Structure 1
Amino acid sequence: MNRLLRALGALGAAILIAQIGALTGADDYIRNLKKPSTVYGEAAMPVFAAGKQAGRASDEGQREQWLLQVKEEAAKRRIEPIDARVDSVWKAIPGYNGREVDLERTLQITKPLTPIQEVPFVYRELEPKVNLDDLGAQPVYKGNPKKPMVSLMINVAWGNEFIPSMIDILNKENVHATFFFDGSWLKKNIPVAKEIGASGHELSNHAYSHKNMSRLGRQAAIEEITKTEALLEKELGVKNKLFAPPSGDFNMQTVQIAHELKLRTVLWTIDTVDWKGPQPEAIVSKIAKRIEPGAMILMHPTKSSSEALEAMIKEIKRKGFVLGTVSELLSPNRVPDVQTTLLQ
């Protein structure tokens, strides 16, 4: 009987060992049974902990490699700012901000979970040492050639017939233009000018009575500018910074007077010559051939430009340019860059 009980006890112990072994790993369990002073759980914990530590070390190594990749990519993405300058042909050329990756902010919003992931780079702009204001009294014909932006400048001195359709197209295409108002027109059309401003367009100065500025004496030239400036401020609440001389006619006295009045004299890069009544297709073709970064396109509220406007805008966008106001174009601010890249 005693032998039978001992046999049954041994069999039960073997079954228990097998069951526990199945749960924990038989080889490890039996191996640890040979160490009387060690409980299995305590012996296993250092092994398991070592595995976690190895995992952490692996994760840390992966993270360090990932951080190195991010820093290397960030260095590649740095772009130096461009100083404003005076060109012998185009006169004042605005500066253009550079950029660098804001590494701290980039890492704050990025969780390196895998070796391959999209990194949302955050940038800060780097200002040039020389800005447009540093160049003094100089006319401006275009923006910086590295800035992929184009501006529509619409000079208004007569007629309202085509303004509503042009505003509708600009709104539809989500484009803001700069309207330069002749003061005598503005005085008679304050409600129309307010509607234009309400659509988000920039409102500016085109002198008062469309005279050739180069033929005026100093005081007469001052009055042409200041009378319209007063209307812009009083009637429209505009703090204006720009002046477009009528017919593009000016001399250095004009530029100097505007500068003294804290206004920048602006001309154009491309003229639609819409006052001659060209076919809309001819205007669009001209723009398509001559458009370039920083271009300012001159037009008026005419039948030709109103019918060409939508196709013109689509062509400009198709070529990859952003459309902004003249002030936006002449500012050194960068056109937004693509924010992400794939690291692997």
Structure 2
Amino acid sequence: MRRWTAKGAFLLICLPVLWGLVSAEPVDSYVSQIKEKAEPVWSFDDLYARIRQEAQKRGESPIDARIDRVWKAIPGYDGLQVDVEATYRLAKRKGWTEPKQWIYRVVPARVTLDDLGPHPIYRGNERKPMAALMINVAWGTEHLPAMLNILRKERVKATFFLDGSWLKRHPSNAKRLKEAGHEIGNHAYSHPMMSRLSRERMRFEMKKTEQLIRQTLGVRSQWFAPPAGDYNQAVVEEAARLHMKTVLWTVDTVDWRPTSTPEWMTARVKAGASNGVLVLMHPTDRTVTALPQIISVMKHNGIKLGTVSEVLSSSRVESVEPAPPF
């Protein structure tokens, strides 16, 4: 009797192993499948079930960067997903019967601007509540202090695209831009119509300005803004060879035109105010007058203002509550 019991026990212990040897799948795979099918004990909790059900409504899928027929390269936007287990554990620890705080994790976009290759960029992602002021600087200095004061007062960071010849003449003014925390971009050296140049001359225009930016300000440009918005595919490719992306604008204030009044400029920005827009302007007296109103328009529409790098990244930004109208 004892001998039979021992044999039976031996067979009972070895049966899973023997089954693994004769079956198509190894024992380790069989065990792992059981573990995958098994759910945590707390998954049967009503609170956990409610959190998991609600999480499906609260998530936001990421948007991949893409090529648009009109707007060319458009950056992606990271998504959000509720961390069900972390939200559940927090609620349990706090003794809540319903989740009062949701914990999220970012879901990165799979395709980025870098994956698209050399293409011009006119705007950020339409789901990102953010916009940027692109300020091209190729002449004068008299209006820069007033613009800097307004930006400082409004706590707005902009991207200044510097003409190389201007930078060479006004290094101290350029340093003030950087010291104020603004982003610096490349605007070629002599303000030429870039599409009319040879590739060699294109590289010269961008490279000479980039060298000046590095020597004078100690930073590297990520963005190239072609003068007058004039470019062709060769310009975009040569900028990419210098590790810069070619950026244009979504809304033009046309502030260089003497007949453009601050009121007209503000109305133009208001008509185009939306997520991801890039607003072009220059340091003129009209821009100084219009700038506070333009900033107010964006805030009223719940759009945060930042640098071109911030707007064109796929990183998420917290939604901005609309401000009262100015």
Q: TM-score range by the shorter chain?
A: 0.7 to 0.9
Whether 1:222 and 2:203 are equivalent positions in the alignment is yes
Give the match for residue 187 of structure 2. Answer: 206
Aligned to 1:154: 135
Cα displacement (A) at 1:264: 0.1
Note if contact 1:66-1:112 (Cα within 8 Å) is conserved in structure 2.
no
Identity of aligned residues (%): 48
Counterpart amino acid of 1:335? V
Which amino acid counterpart does residue 245 of structure 1 have in structure 2? P
Matched residue of 2:192: which SS?
coil
Residue 232 (structure 1) aligns with:
213
Q: Secondary structure at the match of 2:174?
A: helix
Query: Structure 1: where are the runs of 5+ without partners?
Result: 1-60, 339-344
Correspondences of 1:126-165 after superposition (within 5 Å):
126-165=107-146
Contact 2:161–2:184 (8 Å) recurs in 1: yes
Query: Contact 2:47–2:88 at 8 Å: present in 1 too?
Result: no
Q: Distance in 2 between matches of 1:147 and 1:303?
A: 31
1:300 maps onto 2:297 in alignment: no
Unmatched runs of 5 consecutive residues or more in structure 2: 1-41, 321-326
Larger radius of gyration: 1
Q: Does 1:289 align with 2:289?
A: no
Taking structure 1 as the reference length, the TM-score comes to 0.76
Cα shift at 1:207: 0.4
Say whether the 8 Å CA contact 1:150–1:295 is kept in structure 2.
yes
| 1:108 CA drift (Å) | 5.4
State the one-letter code of the partner of 1:237.
G
- Residue 9 of structure 2 aligns with which residue? none
Which letter does structure 2 place at the counterpart of 1:268?
A: W
Partner of 1:314: 296
The residue aligned with 1:329 is 311
Residues 108 and 156 of structure 1, relative CA distance in 2, 3 Å threshold: farther
Larger deviation: 288-297 or 264-273? 288-297
Please give the alpha-carbon distance, in whole angstroms, between the structure 2 residues aligned to 1:71 and 1:323.
35
Matched-pair contact (CA < 8 Å) for 2:87–2:99:
no
Q: How does 1:1-344 map to 2 (within 5 A)?
A: 64-107=45-88, 109-110=90-91, 111-115=93-97, 118-119=100-101, 121-277=102-258, 278-336=260-318
Q: Cα deviation per residue 1:244-291 (whole Å; 9 max; x = unaligned)?
A: 001111111111100111110000000000001311111111111111
Q: What amino acid is the match of 2:263?
A: E
Using the TM superposition, give the Cα deviation of residue 85 of structure 1 relative to its aligned residue in structure 2, in angstroms.
1.1
Task: Tell me how far apart the structure 2 counterparts of residues 211 and 68 of structure 1 sit (CA, whole Å).
Answer: 63
- Secondary structure of 1:276's aligned partner: coil
1:280-323 per-residue CA deviation (whole Å, 9 max, x = no partner) reads 11111111111121110000001111110011101111111111
TM-score of the pair, normalised by structure 2:
0.80
**Aligned position for 1:41:** none
How many Å apart are 1:68 and its aligned residue? 2.9
Deviation at 1:107, TM superposition (A): 4.6
Q: Does 191-200 or 148-157 show the bigger shift?
A: 191-200
- Helix, strand or coil at the partner of 1:294: coil
* Alpha-carbon offset, residue 164 of structure 1: 0.9
Q: Between Structure 1 and Structure 2, how many residues are aligned?
A: 277
Structure 2: how far apart are the matches of 1:332 and 1:133? 11
CA-to-partner distance for each residue in 1:162-216, whole Å, 9 max, x for gaps? 1111111111111111000000001121111111111111011000010110111
- C-alpha contact 1:100 1:124 (8 A) present in aligned 2: yes
Q: Secondary structure at 1:297's aligned position in 2? A: strand
Post-superposition CA distance 1:109-139 (Å, at most 9, x none): 55443435631x2322112221111111100
